[in-house]
């Protein structure tokens, strides 16, 4: 099946997300679709999938124009999409999830009647028992089940939206093999990604988007990573991120002793850590292994069952005493709207949340607005409207708003939980500059990330979380992706 997009344009208010984009996807082809956050690549594919309706342009399937006004229309034409946010119901089994999406699923279940729904499971998700509850699966296994759901609808074109963003290296390699197998079977795949490893592992061709336009296409064989980055960000390119100095040879700035904390689904057990002044300690792990809980426990946002967190030898957080709003501490959570901003409040007030208790009864609102405008300019928060309710910002701009508040003042201790998720390359670079500037001034930085390459490139040491425990803490210069990936999926080494 050959799919053609001709002159696709899509506008959201004043934002032109897709500007006259034309793109071919060949039969049996793996097309890597690259671009910065906001480049328009996901919007373009959501138009193809019927999630958005184009304002202008045509979609052709096998040289015939088709009307795709909904995902149902797209699936009827053999087009399926696996989103970053899974749609599986965690309390149901794999089989039950597959049957919910299977056309003509039987009312009464028997091995014979359900066999068609699980036929592809053994091929594309080997080792996944259809009787298992979805909430017991790893992230990689959930993704495999989502893919089987799409293939069960006889999809001849499969769109994968940043599918390796939360996978360990071993899981990403398995996905690459699945994609290659799909192409060998004659199916087409659009692989939305920003990782050069994905391109090299399974793509035949690369298409690059920037500012809503298709700016380049090339063969994936022998493609140069530097050239791809330049195509994505423009001729100006990226300047190097500041290089970190060695940590200071001084007593630990942050000490974590025998820390235990628990949530409904996971427990942290006996976490021991020391972070020196000026040190950046990276934390890696497959999603769901306790990263969010660790970040919340270290910053006093969730109760500690036992153990303690010490800052410069002084108790910061423990079972009986915690100071989550201590000005010496900065925290960038994964989901700002959940516990970092008040969505109904203005950007100016959210940028001043840490200072509100010290403000007079009648604050000088003009000064708050002026400070907000300066921070929003410095950290490129858009739209630059200090009076706008923060809930109206996009996810990436909301993240930058929190970063502006937390990193615009000197801290002794910073926890950054996926601080660049959803940000484009230039915004990512600005976040790293601000984060590492804190370390340069002597802060202890704990940086949780799913990007192993960046952890290896910038962190001093890397700890791996596995089922709520630290499997290892290694000098970044003495490890690699393979070793980290093994720790992420198997736990502590023998």
How far CA 365 is from CA of 230, 342, 375, 389, 390, in Å, comes to 42, 18, 15, 15, 17
How far CA 364 is from CA of 289, 359, 368, 369, in Å, comes to 45, 9, 7, 9
Shared-domain flag, residues 265 and 311: yes
Give all strands (DSSP E) within 183-332, no chain letters.
Answer: 188-192, 205-210, 213-219, 254-262, 267-275, 280-284, 306-311, 314-317, 329-332
| All residues at 6 or more sequence positions from 492 whose CB lies less than 8 Å from its CB, including other chains | 466, 469, 471, 472
pLDDT at 478: 95
pLDDT at 424: 73
pLDDT at 107: 58
Tens of pLDDT, residues 180-198 = 999 999 999 999 987 888 9
User: What number is the average pLDDT over the span 113-136?
Assistant: 87
Assess if residue 242 is contained within a domain. Answer: no
Last residue of a domain, which of 233, 266, 285? Answer: 233
The span from the CA of 127 to the CA of 377, in Å, is 50
Shared-domain flag, residues 229 and 266: no
What is this structure's pTM? 0.78
184 three-state secondary structure: helix
In the predicted model, what is the mean pLDDT of the chain? 90
| All residues at 6 or more sequence positions from 197 whose CB lies less than 8 Å from its CB, including other chains | 164, 172
Shared-domain flag, residues 200 and 72: yes
Shared-domain flag, residues 330 and 440: yes
Tens of pLDDT, residues 419-465 = 987 677 778 888 999 999 999 999 999 999 988 889 999 999 999 99
pLDDT at 410: 95
pLDDT at 89 over 80: yes
Tens of pLDDT, residues 15-24 = 799 999 999 9
- Hunting for tokens 């202008």 — which residue is that? 56
| All residues at 6 or more sequence positions from 97 whose CB lies less than 8 Å from its CB, including other chains | 88, 89, 134, 145, 149
The span from the CA of 74 to the CA of 67, in Å, is 9
Tens of pLDDT, residues 194-218 = 788 899 999 999 999 988 999 999 9
pLDDT at 296: 95
Lowest mean pLDDT among 121-125, 213-217, 345-349: 121-125
Lowest mean pLDDT among 13-17, 22-26, 223-227: 223-227
How far CA 57 is from CA of 11, 22, 423, 442, in Å, comes to 12, 9, 28, 54
Assess if residue 322 is contained within a domain. Answer: yes
pLDDT at 362: 59
Assess if residue 249 is contained within a domain. Answer: no
User: What number is the average pLDDT over the span 366-394?
Assistant: 90
Assess if residue 7 is contained within a domain. Answer: yes
Shared-domain flag, residues 229 and 299: no
pLDDT at 136 over 90: no
pLDDT at 237 over 70: no
Assess if residue 241 is contained within a domain. Answer: no
Lowest mean pLDDT among 53-62, 163-172, 269-278, 439-448: 163-172
Assess if residue 248 is contained within a domain. Answer: no
Assess if residue 345 is contained within a domain. Answer: yes
Shared-domain flag, residues 217 and 359: no
Shared-domain flag, residues 188 and 304: no
pLDDT at 364 over 80: no
User: What number is the average pLDDT over the span 158-186?
Assistant: 90
The span from the CA of 73 to the CA of 305, in Å, is 52
Domain of residue 210, residue span: 3-233
Sheet holding 64-66, edge to edge: 15-25, 3-12, 56-61, 64-66
pLDDT at 354: 78
How far CA 376 is from CA of 72, 356, 370, 371, 419, in Å, comes to 41, 18, 10, 9, 17
Q: What are phi and psi of 282, to 5 degrees?
A: -85, 145
CATH of the domain at 116: 3.40.50.300
Q: What's the Rg (C-alpha) of the chain?
A: 24
Shared-domain flag, residues 201 and 325: no
Lowest mean pLDDT among 232-241, 298-307, 387-396, 401-410: 232-241
Residues in the chain: 494
| Position 359 confidence tier, pLDDT thresholds 50, 70, 90 | low
Shared-domain flag, residues 140 and 23: yes
Shared-domain flag, residues 263 and 192: no
b/e map of 127-150 (b: 16 or more CB within 10 Å)?
Answer: ebebeeebeebbbbbbbbbbbbbb
pLDDT at 334: 87
Shared-domain flag, residues 70 and 211: yes
Shared-domain flag, residues 216 and 304: no
Assess if residue 312 is contained within a domain. Answer: yes
pLDDT at 113 over 70: no
Number of domains in the chain: 2
pLDDT at 138: 82
pLDDT > 70 in the chain, percent:
95
pLDDT at 235: 59
């Amino acid at each position: 099946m050959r799919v053609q997009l001709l002159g696709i344009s899509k506008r959201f208010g004043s934002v032109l997300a897709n500007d006259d984009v034309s793109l071919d996807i060949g039969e049996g082809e793996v097309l890597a679709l690259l671009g910065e956050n906001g480049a328009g690549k996901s919007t373009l594919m959501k138009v193809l999938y019927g999630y958005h309706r184009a304002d202008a342009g045509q979609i052709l399937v096998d040289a015939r124009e088709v009307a795709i006004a909904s995902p149902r229309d797209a699936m009827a034409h053999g087009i399926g999409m696996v989103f970053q946010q899974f749609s599986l119901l965690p309390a149901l089994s794999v089989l039950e999830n597959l049957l919910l999406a299977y056309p003509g699923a039987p009312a009464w279940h028997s091995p014979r009647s359900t066999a068609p729904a699980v036929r592809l499971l053994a091929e594309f998700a080997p080792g996944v028992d259809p009787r298992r509850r979805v909430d017991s699966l790893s992230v990689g296994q959930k993704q495999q089940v989502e893919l089987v759901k799409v293939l069960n609808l006889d999809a001849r074109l499969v769109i994968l939206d940043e599918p390796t963003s939360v996978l360990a290296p071993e899981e990403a390699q398995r996905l690459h093999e699945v994609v290659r197998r799909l192409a060998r079977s004659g199916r087409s795949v659009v692989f939305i990604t920003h990782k050069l490893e994905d391109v090299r592992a399974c793509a035949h061709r690369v298409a690059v988007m920037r500012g809503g336009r298709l700016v380049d296409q090339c063969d994936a064989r022998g493609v140069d990573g530097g050239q791809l980055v330049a195509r994505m960000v423009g001729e100006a390119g990226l300047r190097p991120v500041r290089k970190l100095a060695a940590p200071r040879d001084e007593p630990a700035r942050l000490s974590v002793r025998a820390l235990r904390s628990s949530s409904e689904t996971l427990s942290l057990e006996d976490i021991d850590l020391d972070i020196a002044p000026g040190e950046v300690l990276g934390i890696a792990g497959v999603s769901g292994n306790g990263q969010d809980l660790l970040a919340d426990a270290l910053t006093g946002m969730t109760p500690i069952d036992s153990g303690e967190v010490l800052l410069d030898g002084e108790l910061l957080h423990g079972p009986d005493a915690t100071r989550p709003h201590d000005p010496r501490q900065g925290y960038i959570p994964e989901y700002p709207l959940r516990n970092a901003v008040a969505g109904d409040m203005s950007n100016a007030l959210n940028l001043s949340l840490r200072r509100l208790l010290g403000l007079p009864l009648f604050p000088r609102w003009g000064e708050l607005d002026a400070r907000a405008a300066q921070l929003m300019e410095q950290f490129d928060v858009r739209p630059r409207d200090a009076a706008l309710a923060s809930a109206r910002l996009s996810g990436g701009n909301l993240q930058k708003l929190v970063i502006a508040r937390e990193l615009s003042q000197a801290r002794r201790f910073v926890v950054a939980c996926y601080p660049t998720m959803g940000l484009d390359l230039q915004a990512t670079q600005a976040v790293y500059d601000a984060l590492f500037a804190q370390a340069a001034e002597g802060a202890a930085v704990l940086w949780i990330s799913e990007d192993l390459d960046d952890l290896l490139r910038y962190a001093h040491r890397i700890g791996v979380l596995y089922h709520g425990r630290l499997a290892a803490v290694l000098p970044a210069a003495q490890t690699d992706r393979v070793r980290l990936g093994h720790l992420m999926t198997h736990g502590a080494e023998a």
